[in-house]
Structure 1
Amino acid sequence: MNRKQNIITTAINEHAIDNNLTAIGVMDLDGLRKTVSDVYDAFPANFFHTFAVKANALVKVLAPLREYGMGAEVASPGELLIALTAGFTAQNIIFDSPAKTLQDLRTCIKTGIALNIDNLQELARIDTLMLEFPDSKSVIGFRVNPQIGGGKIGSTSTATTTSKFGYALLDEDNRQTLIAIYKARPWLNSIHTHTGSQGCELTLMAHGIKVITELAEEINAVIGTQQITRIDIGGGLPVNFSSEVIKPSFKDYAEVLKAQVPLLFTNKYQVKTEFGRAIVAKNGVIITRVEYTKNAGGRHIATTHAGAQILTRTAFLPKSWPIRVTGYSAEGIEKTKDNSAVVTTDVAGPCCFAGDLICSNQQLPKLELNDYVMVHDTGGYYFSNHFDYNSLPRVAVYTVSGEDNDLSMTCIRKAESLEDVLNKM
């Protein structure tokens, strides 16, 4: 019995999934440990690896990752709170949000959490805060967009000419402006880029990192000392969703990176990574029960309880985010062409819109009432439901009524600042 067969059999026999709990997410912690080990084995000792919390913002997943040796990269105040709850310490956290409030920045600089600056207006705020906290232990850098182009998925490409992320290196005199910014601020001792994501080739990712490494060398040369000591190369290693094969591997990426940017593989710089999807995706699955089946227009339709609410990317962008499914009988036996007729199938979710499909027009062993479906490679950006924007609501909901347009708050609780929450811990 293979590992996934054992997982679904155990889930059924121990009633982890049944008529009441009809969709579950499962993380393989042994697999997660091996993945982290593979990351560290692929790179030399001057690399330190952080996990992009947005990829799976569950404390029960983050705590083991911390135990296995990962740091945490957070992109929102709630992710920061979740990382702290999972036991990560300030010195092992990087804050990368492009929309940090003044209070967020104050919290980071006061408590020594590293951060990457997104723009000049944010820099102005930090200038003021560094006067208030001159002894801050925060490692601070600029996020730089090398503007080298995108990959196959536009919505996840972060190094395009007009990307929302980072300081546009090739615009006007921005390169010289950035050098002057570093020269005037001895506390700027890191630099950051995140060139890749799903759909990006390894060579594109490495090229962006090469540009930033050369920029770090130029800045240090102009200053006359090695002021920049850390290069944060982001994450974005693509995941193979078409099979069980892990390709590209972390070793593949390290080899491409070493060929293009050999300087990183010396001890001159500390290098930080921010892998997310590549750490967790293949270590997680969703299991859901088939509630009903029917036929329409020659198509077999299996309606399950996992759809757009937990498979958001696939439901709304199926061509960019196709995922594999495997059917199992009510007893947990895998359905194959040897024990079931193969039919043209849509596997549907429970949401009331037509696009709520896990997969469409697929040749699958026939799914029946009360069967189960395993959705593969969903350990990242699926059942962790990160789009709740981190459990710290900043957006209150109001209704308007009456001739005077009276406002009534209808949200569950008022927004709190990160520091307010931290003070309660």
Structure 2
Amino acid sequence: MLRHVDPRTPSVAPRTAERVGAVLRRAIEDGLLDGGLPVAGFVDVEGVRRSVGELHAAFDGVPDVLHTFAAKASSLVPVLRLLAGLGMGCEVASPGELRLAREAGFAPGRIVLDSPAKTWDEIAEALDLGIALNADNLAELDRIDALRPEGCASVVGLRVNPQVGGGAIGAMSTATPTSKFGVALRDPGSRERVVEAFVRRPWLTRLHAHVGSQGCPLELIAEGIAETYRLAEEINAAAGRQQVTSLDIGGGLPVNFSDDETRPTFRDYTAALRAAAPGLFDGRYGLVTEFGRSILAKNGFIAARVEYAKEAGGRRIAVTHAGAQTATRTVLMPGSWPLRVGAFDAAGRPKDGPQVAQDVAGPCCFAGDVVAEDRELPLLDEGDHVVLYDTGAYYFSTPWAYNSLPRVGVHGFAVGADGGVRLTVVRDAQTLDEIAAESGARHRDGLAGLA
């Protein structure tokens, strides 16, 4: 279970603040955070390696497992390339994500296509390339019937909704009674239709389920996977053979945003699965996982300059360049996605001094663009920097184009044993020319020409 910690009193270990400060100082020295570049994202390469290693270790001894990374959690080709080199596969949910996975070098057999709205063309492409895909519904199976060529190499599965309930964040819960995902198993007649669909299609060999992510306790996730395991056993009994040979158990391990500790761990996850479905790891079924946030969240941060510091209604407000455009979930759902905030001076050194309650606001032109409200921090002044911790997944990799603010530059870093910092470009900051082009500048006279 996730432990609730008051977001007003987040915990950042001094060694973490100093390590982040070293990266920040190097970025400032290199001109990656200056007048024209007031905000950037950073990826901890060694941290990513460590997290992937912990995932593999948690499944050690399982004879057949493919760990895929959910591309939506960090749709950045260099990040995906790093993960491919660490033995990961890739889970994609759109033509764009599939293109990024292929650019990153993932072999087709290590890519899984999930989406509740695949077009005929998307299905045909996946089948032609030999990419695995999970049908979201029975009607999609009919499309695959029509498109699947003889000798197709794609592993084909069906996503089911075990309907075990939701967690604390409804938008992150995908196994509720009315979830848009998968075939609802507890609806009248659905389970029987699923079994019959498998028996009629010998090439349909995988079951897929995903209960949810942030806000979902391990017990709920494990129960949804256990229900899917029981369904596989039922299908195989009905078919008179082991037709279901693999289970895609999704991802969704929650992340602790309250302090530096990784909680729950991947080993906590596998322990919960063993308790709920002891036969899951006995080797009869290959396993596929689709983790995203839990691999990258704690391995990245956002740094932004404080442009102004002012008072309003007796409250201190630090206006920064990191707001809803890059911390969208936190701004729109602060109770569900609170972030730890670090205070650093203009040179990138951690600030100390008395804690002062203050707001940390972003640059977007709406009143709710506040990343942290009434947060106790060392006093922030113009020219200082704030750091948003635990933002390695989703935040800077999938920005919101509100106010036509540019996508932030992203950099990877490694810190040597001597404390030296090495940086590399992951994504260039978006230019104003690129914003204009993306906004249709080439067609500027198009509408006027219709008058």
- TM value normalised by structure 2: 0.84
**Residue identity opposite 1:25 in structure 2:** G
After TM superposition, the structure 1 = structure 2 runs for residues 49-128 of structure 1, keeping only pairs within 5 Å, are 49-128=67-146
Partner of 1:332: 348
SS at match of 2:211: coil
Task: Name which of 343, 361, 365 aligns with 2:378.
Answer: 365
SS at match of 1:49: strand
TM-aligned CA deviation for residue 177 of structure 1: 0.6
Structure 1 distance, partners of 2:400, 2:51, is 25
Structure 2 distance, partners of 1:397, 1:293, is 32
SS at match of 2:157: strand
Partner of 1:184: 200
**Residue identity opposite 1:355 in structure 2:** G
Partner of 2:299: 283
TM-aligned CA deviation for residue 196 of structure 1: 2.5
Partner of 1:379: 392
SS at match of 2:374: strand
1:194 paired to 2:207: no
Task: Name which of 171, 177, 180 aligns with 2:187.
Answer: 171
> Aligned pair in 2 of structure 1 residues 24, 397: CA closer, same or farther (>3 Å)?
closer
TM-aligned CA deviation for residue 208 of structure 1: 0.1
1:40 paired to 2:56: yes
TM-aligned CA deviation for residue 387 of structure 1: 6.7
TM-aligned CA deviation for residue 377 of structure 1: 0.5
**Residue identity opposite 1:104 in structure 2:** E
Q: Please list every run of at least 4 consecutive aligned residues from structure 1 whose deviation after the TM superposition is greater than 6 angstroms.
A: none
Q: Which runs of 5+ in 1 are unaligned?
A: 389-395, 399-406, 411-425
**Residue identity opposite 2:213 in structure 1:** S
Task: Name which of 190, 200, 221 aligns with 1:205.
Answer: 221
**Residue identity opposite 1:299 in structure 2:** R
Task: Name which of 24, 27, 45 aligns with 2:40.
Answer: 24
TM-aligned CA deviation for residue 89 of structure 1: 1.1
> Aligned pair in 2 of structure 1 residues 342, 387: CA closer, same or farther (>3 Å)?
closer
Report if the CA contact (8 A) 2:320-2:362 is conserved: yes
Report if the CA contact (8 A) 1:55-1:386 is conserved: no
Structure 2 distance, partners of 1:409, 1:71, is 48
Structure 2 distance, partners of 1:358, 1:300, is 14
Q: Deviations over 1:257-295 (max 9, x none)?
A: 111112121111111100000011000100000000001
SS at match of 2:116: coil
Q: Deviations over 1:336-365 (max 9, x none)?
A: 3xxx23211100000010110110011111
Structure 1 distance, partners of 2:277, 2:30, is 50
SS at match of 2:395: coil
Report if the CA contact (8 A) 2:300-2:391 is conserved: yes
TM-aligned CA deviation for residue 227 of structure 1: 0.8
SS at match of 2:27: helix
**Residue identity opposite 1:140 in structure 2:** V
Report if the CA contact (8 A) 2:44-2:300 is conserved: yes
Structure 1 distance, partners of 2:34, 2:78, is 22
Partner of 1:343: 356
> Aligned pair in 2 of structure 1 residues 183, 386: CA closer, same or farther (>3 Å)?
farther
Task: Name which of 236, 239, 243 aligns with 1:227.
Answer: 243
Q: Deviations over 1:25-47 (max 9, x none)?
A: 00001110010000000013322
> Aligned pair in 2 of structure 1 residues 408, 144: CA closer, same or farther (>3 Å)?
farther
SS at match of 2:343: strand
**Residue identity opposite 1:351 in structure 2:** C
Report if the CA contact (8 A) 2:328-2:400 is conserved: no
SS at match of 1:295: strand
SS at match of 2:386: strand
Structure 2 distance, partners of 1:381, 1:208, is 25
> Aligned pair in 2 of structure 1 residues 386, 115: CA closer, same or farther (>3 Å)?
farther
Q: Deviations over 1:163-220 (max 9, x none)?
A: 0111100111010110000000001000000012100000000000000000001100
1:7 paired to 2:52: no
Structure 1 distance, partners of 2:107, 2:25, is 38
> Aligned pair in 2 of structure 1 residues 298, 200: CA closer, same or farther (>3 Å)?
same
> Aligned pair in 2 of structure 1 residues 366, 262: CA closer, same or farther (>3 Å)?
same
> Aligned pair in 2 of structure 1 residues 69, 225: CA closer, same or farther (>3 Å)?
same
Structure 2 distance, partners of 1:9, 1:35, is 25
TM-aligned CA deviation for residue 409 of structure 1: 11
1:309 paired to 2:325: yes
Partner of 1:129: 147
Structure 1 distance, partners of 2:448, 2:87, is 43
Structure 2 distance, partners of 1:224, 1:6, is 61
TM-aligned CA deviation for residue 397 of structure 1: 9.9
**Residue identity opposite 1:95 in structure 2:** L
TM-aligned CA deviation for residue 10 of structure 1: 1.4
SS at match of 2:397: coil
**Residue identity opposite 2:119 in structure 1:** T
TM-aligned CA deviation for residue 335 of structure 1: 1.4
Structure 1 distance, partners of 2:439, 2:328, is 23
Structure 1 distance, partners of 2:131, 2:399, is 22
Structure 2 distance, partners of 1:387, 1:293, is 24
> Aligned pair in 2 of structure 1 residues 225, 83: CA closer, same or farther (>3 Å)?
same
Partner of 2:407: none
- Count of matched residue pairs: 390
SS at match of 1:323: coil
TM-aligned CA deviation for residue 386 of structure 1: 6.4
**Residue identity opposite 1:83 in structure 2:** A
SS at match of 1:103: helix
Structure 2 distance, partners of 1:387, 1:136, is 39
- TM value normalised by structure 1: 0.89
> Aligned pair in 2 of structure 1 residues 165, 293: CA closer, same or farther (>3 Å)?
same
